[in-house]
A = this chain, B = another copy of it.
Amino acid sequence: MRDQLLDAVERLLVRGGVDAVRLDAVAVEAGVSKGGLLHHFPSKRALVQGVVERLADRFEAVLPGPDAPPGAFALAWLDASIPTESPTGDGSGADQVPVALLAAAGGPEVLDVLRGRYDAWQRRLVDNGLDPAVATLVRFAVDGWWTSRLLGLAVPHDDLHRRLRELLVDLTRPGGGPVPGAADAPEHG
């Protein structure tokens, strides 16, 4: 029932944002009684927090363990967030639930839950054999890219998408991948 309710919350979020997550609407969308809903999630905050935690769990499930080879953690972060090919459609990411924006909209308690997760991920990221600054650079670039897709802010497509992704993959290689400079930059106007 928990997952059924959280699925319903995610559908409402995609359709109408956080404002659409009302207890009555969630019960109707999930096809359960209001009492059944309140038994699992006593408030809107609990529902939003439930979705944030489930999204964080799913992200965590694809991250490598402590014995992963150097750079594997940063590479997994990239792979979990940015597809190999550029997105089709308008790139606004309407098919994804925005975990960071959602946590922020959920209020201080929900945001604190996500902060705890990020702290743990950051520790594992910088402890995975890369220069910590390079590993953190990859994390921020991936998060910034994902935010741009989510909000539809000047999303790179096609060749630029692929080259940016290759550049990030190179950065996750121990020893630091080559950074293409002016010498091998293609023409660009």
Contact = CB atoms under 8 A, between A and B. Distances in A.
Contacts of A129: 182
A156 B182 CA distance: 30
Query: What is the count of identical protomers in the complex?
Result: 2
Given A101-B101, A126-B188, A111 B152 contact: yes
Contacts of A176: 179-182
A53 to B, nearest CB: 15
Given A100-B153, A127-B188, A178-B179, 14 more contacts: A101-B104, A111-B151, A115-B152, A133-B166, A134-B180, A134-B181, A137-B141, A140-B140, A140-B143, A140-B144, A140-B145, A140-B148, A143-B147, A174-B181
